[in-house]
């Protein structure tokens, strides 16, 4: 039972254009969402997060949008750069879970072409 899904295994974008990565979740108890970036042979690196009390959070070139009614979040990267090429994971947690357990999606491989 996948509670967090990333339906696009890969995405290819031209340098300078917008990259949009999508994530869907099924557990209505989730109220905190994160995006991690992973390069080969490295551990995931935290990118940006959003609480369920917001619908948008922005940090430089990265913006995360949350649509609670649709149980959908997306990560926008503008403009995309070749160094953004990596696997992106979305993750979710429930604040009432004292264990801060993160549930991850399967990842989307982003390729930014020069």
Partner 1 sequence: EAGVAQSPRYKIIEKRQSVAFWCNPISGHATLYWYQQILGQGPKLLIQFQNNGVVDDSQLPKDRFSAERLKGVDSTLKIQPAKLEDSAVYLCASSLGTIQETQYFGPGTRLLVL
Residues that bind partner 1 (CB under 8 A): 4, 6, 32, 34, 36, 41-46, 49, 51, 89, 91, 93, 95, 98-107
Nearer to partner 1 by Cβ, of 20 and 102: the residue is 102
SS3 114: coil
**Measured from the CB of residue 52, what is the shortest distance to partner 1 in angstroms?**
11
CB nearer to partner 1: give 37 or 112. Answer: 37
Residue 39 CB, nearest distance to partner 1 (Å)? 10
Do residues 32 and 95 make contact, with C-beta atoms less than 8 angstroms apart? yes
Phi, psi of 28 (to 5 degrees): -70, -10
Bridge partner residues of 45 (DSSP): 37
Nearest Cα residue to 16 out of 69, 77, 99: 77
Residue 3 C-beta: closest distance to partner 1, Å: 11
Our CB check for partner 1 shows the closer of 79 and 106 to be 106
Residue in the block written with tokens 């995309």: 80
Residue 43's DSSP bridge partners are: none
């Amino acid at each position: 039972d996948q509670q967090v899904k990333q339906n696009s295994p890969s995405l290819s974008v031209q340098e300078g254009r917008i990259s949009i990565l999508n994530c869907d979740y099924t557990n209505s108890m989730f109220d905190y969402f994160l995006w991690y970036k992973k390069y080969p042979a490295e551990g995931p690196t935290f990118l940006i997060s959003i609480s369920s009390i917001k619908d948008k959070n922005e940090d430089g070139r990265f913006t995360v949008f949350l649509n609670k009614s649709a149980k959908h979040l997306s990560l926008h990267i503008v403009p995309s750069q070749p160094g953004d090429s990596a696997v992106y994971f979305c993750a979710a947690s429930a604040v009432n879970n004292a264990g801060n357990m993160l549930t991850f999606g399967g990842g989307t491989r982003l390729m930014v072409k020069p």
